[in-house]
A and B are shown apart, each in its own frame.
Chain A
Amino acid sequence: MHLLMTASQINGLPVVTLGGDDVAEVRDVIYSPEAGRLVGLTLNKRGFLSGRRRELLPASSVHALGRDAVMVADASCLVLPEDAPEEVAHPGTDRNVVGDDVLTEGGVSLGTVRDLALLVGSTGEVVGYQIDKVGGGEGYIPLPAQLAVSGSTLVVPDTTEEFVRDDLVGLGAAVEEFRSRLGMR
């Protein structure tokens, strides 16, 4: 089963303890493009217009990432930046892939990155990107587990071009085939 969400769908989700209390909500995702995964979440206070929280939620403390909530064991999973792992507290400034050009190894531009597509479940694996296609319109591309990233461009395998899909459901089905084609599993 591949249930995928974009990062913008995760923003605003409540952070809920296994005891059923909502302790924060997601402000934004902290993402490592090299590792292809979520490393943590920045947080807002709960409620409309209630402002930012200093605490961060490292991905290692996420119990599960779901459609309707981010689950944590308890409120102690939220840590101050000074107590958080380096990659969560100080993510590299070139980590923001949104707006980057997507180029194949053969030098074909597929479009620009609009958002991340994450595998929903216990992990925060980023399996694809939502892109604005060169010819107009939006699409979704699957990602290998790792890829070359500079501040402005991502280089993806040539095969990616065959796997551009129109929606998240299509991407979910494409990821596995794409990865098996690359000999990843």
Chain B
Amino acid sequence: MSESFRQANGRKVVSRASAQELGTVSHLLIDGPYRSVAAVVVGRGRRARLVDWAALSGFGPDAVMVADEGALRTPADAREQAAADGKLELVGRRALTELGNELGIIDDVTFNPRTGALETLRVADRDIDAAALLGSGSFAAVLDKSQESLP
């Protein structure tokens, strides 16, 4: 079973210890080189908190479970702050090849909910293997040149 970024958006985040809802998923921060979800951003703006992927007890179809409220932390660096502000959101970002040609806008991203590993990127009605992803930043997601569409 795969999850997708669009489906995950807005899912509630629940503490296993207190059974309380701590917020909802607003973004997923990816780790470019490892092509996986590094952290879940809970809430938006100044009140946004992060949960590291390793600190999740489960990414379920109805709720994202954490051990307790202590799993939520504030952004630790500029990149995490940018993620909390929604500036690194992969869905809606332009996809460039490493040759500098735009392929389109990323519609959705699927990932494995057990491991966090990215699976496919949906760009302009094509499903692109996440293995082609070289990095993702403030301007674009960069894909390797095997994705260059030939004229």
Contact = CB atoms under 8 A, between A and B. Distances in A.
A53 B123 CA distance: 33
B99 interface: yes
Interface string A86-125: 0000000000000000000000000000000000111000
Interface stretch (A37-45, A60-68, A127-135, A149-157): A60-68
Interface string A16-34: 1111111000000000000
A120 to B, nearest CB: 8
Where chain A touches its partner, the secondary structure class is: loop
B138 A20 contact: yes
A1 B151 contact: yes
Interface in B132-151: 134-142, 145, 150-151
Given A16-B100, A65-B100, A67-B101, 15 more contacts: A3-B151, A16-B96, A17-B135, A18-B135, A19-B135, A20-B135, A20-B136, A20-B141, A22-B139, A63-B98, A64-B98, A64-B99, A70-B100, A71-B96, A71-B142
Interface of A: 1, 3, 13-14, 16-22, 63-71, 120-122
B102 interface: yes
Contacts of B137: 16-17, 19-22
A122 B99 contact: yes
B150 to A, nearest CB: 8
Contacts of B134: 18-19
A120 B148 CA distance: 13
Contacts of B135: 17-20
A149 to B, nearest CB: 28
What 8 A-B pairs come out closest when comparing CB atoms?
A66-B100, A20-B137, A21-B137, A22-B139, A19-B135, A68-B102, A69-B100, A64-B99
15 contacts: A16-B140, A20-B32, A20-B140, A20-B141, A21-B137, A22-B138, A22-B140, A64-B99, A64-B100, A66-B99, A66-B100, A67-B101, A69-B96, A69-B102, A122-B99
B80 to A, nearest CB: 15
Contacts of A120: 100
Given A66-B96, A69-B96, A71-B96, A16 B142 contact: yes
Contacts of B150: 1
Contacts of B97: 66
A165 B102 CA distance: 28
Contacts of B96: 16, 20, 66, 68-69, 71
Contacts of B99: 64, 66, 71, 121-122
Contacts of A21: 137-139
Contacts of A19: 32, 134-137, 142
B139 A14 contact: yes
A71 to B, nearest CB: 5
Given A19-B142, A20-B139, A20-B142, A68 B98 contact: no
